[in-house]
Structure 1
């Protein structure tokens, strides 16, 4: 425990030095436990440089923040979107030890050959090309040795910093503690390669059963589950080139068809399946030697629960049709924060935003930018949206940019409209809509035939004064009792007051004899008795009857 504390303290010193070198005074003082002033962010370029110097974990944090237009201004999300994890590759000798330790079978019986040169090196793992004993080419994704404790240490430090910053109004508005929890969950998921294997299988199976035949041709690598573990992932090797490079050399006439196929594939993942590849940058699409397109790297996925999925589908439709009021309603339903005090301001801001897109033709609307502007407007009005919304915006922006690289005339909004129409038809009428449509028509026919007779009967009862309304108010009895109690107490108070006034008049004007004094005394005694009794009944919880 002490060694862990020492490492954390040492890491704090390293971070403080980097922050000092880059001039972020606020965070450095916070890290060293000193008194801080008003929170402030460094310029976007400086923040990006700080995250790069802090290392791979913080680069991944910056990549997550680049999707959160509801938290950071656009200048920051644009700067952070260019972050890439540039880490030196681990020596083959260390990685070979990791492979041998993780393999459930002897190394020599599984592989005929493994190329010791990695084809890719990331902050979490490295990828190699290998050949199985039967001659099948596979890809090996191997976790970097010792990366788990490093991530645990940095995440623990991030939690402490988030808790400190959360004590300020700025930190509370950003909800940093929740953001760090979300980031931690992403890292834990990426460290477990069995989850990536499951996501690969699930999304691959969903696409294979797509309602669009062309989407069924999108290749997803096979997972060799019997050879994979939480630190080793064995996948089918797919020969090809990055999509944009391969398209330009071999399939320039197919650009539009490929763009439409990719859009339908992701529309299905987002709006039908609720589980989608959350990092569709151009490097994760390959154009294969057989002319098919492959989708790779399922370490970063996002999902929607059914309610959120339905709301997002409606929001996409509202954006496609440019309906500001509906956008406000759906944004508030998706919000994780209390409703803003000034809803009119939010609606006006959305209206001004969408009016900027009205004069444009559909092909000129940058849909990814439009969705990003929606998140930015929500942030300015202190409406906090789920992190998956930022991921969705980035996903659609990637797809739109890739689509226009493949086909300069690619119109994402125009392609989305018929897809949304088909989805709504299925939601309302089911997969086979004709029986439901005929049933609805028959119901409407019955309603049209019965309605005139029902209205006639209602009017007859009104004219004959036989129509009686029965109103049931559950709390009416309590109200009646309360009124009875108040009136009874008022009556007793009047009687007591009359006795007192009568006794006073007798004492003042009556003759001094024993009968007068006795009568006045009886009135006073009666008044006092009734007064005490009334006071006693008021103070008791029982009601006067």
Structure 2
């Protein structure tokens, strides 16, 4: 780690921010609320106002703005007025001047805006921490949205991430909480996800993949990119007219039953998590838009999560156990997918899981519990010396955001029942997918190899049995280490007997007159005493300091 002069400003800003909020009532109450502990004070007045927190994050730079956006989707942690203030970080940032936008777009796509588009709105539709979106019309007449990355944002992001990476490493090395929660692992995953947002070509690829995966859901729309006008810093995609899903008026909510729409949204996310392993990882209300035709558009595919086949199986079992409120099964699955310290407490962890699950029993969407309980389980695991994969945290964050959307559109929606209802179908689809021709071919090859070698192996076993040459080797102990230990004991006993004999012999020689003397005593007796003394000291040293 190196603190170069050009980096000192970043460290000074970070330390100033931490010193300001570290011992604040807001942080103390937030931590207590997250852990379901009794809070020290009520969520009323704090030293720092919501507006002050927002301004501080803006001053810190784009990376911290992104962290603030993530925090704004945590209704289980902060009061409503802080959530609303942080939500402004998602679309109320100062826009990039149009001249800069024009220069970036023309440089990236290699042609004048006037040649590429019939029209290009100078005022942005939305302005975020990484880029801003302009409405435009292609020469074909197609309406599109053009997302332009802020100039210099990559360097700022990388600098801030470097600072956070070094702080996370220090926390793991020097603090118990850093080790418990694996700050370095969590940050590494956060860094990977956040860096994805800086590459619009990757986001365009994500849009295509998700659109293909969700094509069966007629009420869901994933805007597709326009490849000819997309680069790593400019993303041109289909324009959809809608608004944040949480900005739907109470009157419209009363007039419409959004339960079928929520049902399809939940089904689609379960499919992403369990069947596809490719998930829209940032489904906060700003990225989920309700269109005029009552369809839902999934926006901003910069952040996606990818789960391995093995992790999909774990998450499938975990979601099923959650839907059944089966605390024992949940604990079994979490322990199976985790790593444990030597002094981990399995009994305390199982007790915590049972309490968390029991508190969540019979809750509806308006209680916002589904994602929150996963976060609580992760905290319990860390407290008891158990390391859960980062994937569990990602799933918890996704479900937290989904909880918020579902609770707004259908407060009485039973998410657990929906999971149980759809999981059978998802399991069947997953099994069919795993029985694809290429998978069956691999199984057939393995079976062919087994059948080819089976006769010769049976023949060899029967021949060894007939000749009484069949052996079973049990690797229970290290035989060499075991015999070495006995040999060491025998050597020590022998050396002890020799030393004792020398002392007895020396004592007997003391009474025999001799012309050879040392310090006035018979010389041979003294030599035996000295040899016995040195031998005793050496034996004691070896036993005390070198024996394993």
If the length of structure 2 is used for normalisation, what is the TM-score? 0.68
Q: Which of residues 182, 191, 198 in structure 1 aligns to 2:189? A: 182
How do 1:122-521 and structure 2 match up within 5 A?
Answer: 122-170=128-176, 172-173=178-179, 174-208=181-215, 213=216, 215-243=217-245, 245=248, 249=252, 252-335=255-338, 338=341, 341-358=344-361, 366-426=369-429
Over aligned residue pairs, what C-alpha RMSD do you find? 4.9
Distance 1:296 1:254 in 2: 23
CA distances 1:163-202 after superposition (whole Å, capped 9, x unpaired):
4444412464243333443333233211111111111110
Larger deviation: 93-102 or 287-296?
Answer: 287-296
| Alpha-carbon offset, residue 136 of structure 1 | 1.3
Larger deviation: 322-331 or 120-129?
Answer: 322-331
Unaligned runs of 5+ in 2: 25-46, 441-469, 494-548
- Equivalent residues of 1:190, 1:299 under 8 A apart: yes
Distance change >3 Å, CA 469–CA 143, structure 1 → 2: closer
Aligned length, in residue pairs: 457
Distance 1:170 1:64 in 2: 25
| Alpha-carbon offset, residue 419 of structure 1 | 1.7
Distance 1:479 1:63 in 2: 60
Match of 2:127 in 1: 121
Matched, 1:83 2:89: no
Unaligned runs of 5+ in 1: 27-41, 437-467, 491-545
| Alpha-carbon offset, residue 238 of structure 1 | 1.3
If the length of structure 1 is used for normalisation, what is the TM-score? 0.68
| Alpha-carbon offset, residue 145 of structure 1 | 1.1
Distance change >3 Å, CA 82–CA 323, structure 1 → 2: farther
Structure 1 counterpart SS, 2:282: coil
| Alpha-carbon offset, residue 383 of structure 1 | 3.1
Distance 1:10 1:229 in 2: 32
CA distances 1:210-256 after superposition (whole Å, capped 9, x unpaired):
xxx5x144211121111100000000111234445289649944411
Distance 2:282 2:292 in 1: 23
Distance change >3 Å, CA 175–CA 472, structure 1 → 2: closer
- Equivalent residues of 1:140, 1:232 under 8 A apart: yes
Matched, 1:92 2:124: no
Rg larger in 1 or in 2? 1
Match of 1:107 in 2: 113
- Equivalent residues of 1:74, 1:376 under 8 A apart: no
How do 1:38-53 and structure 2 match up within 5 A?
Answer: 50-53=56-59
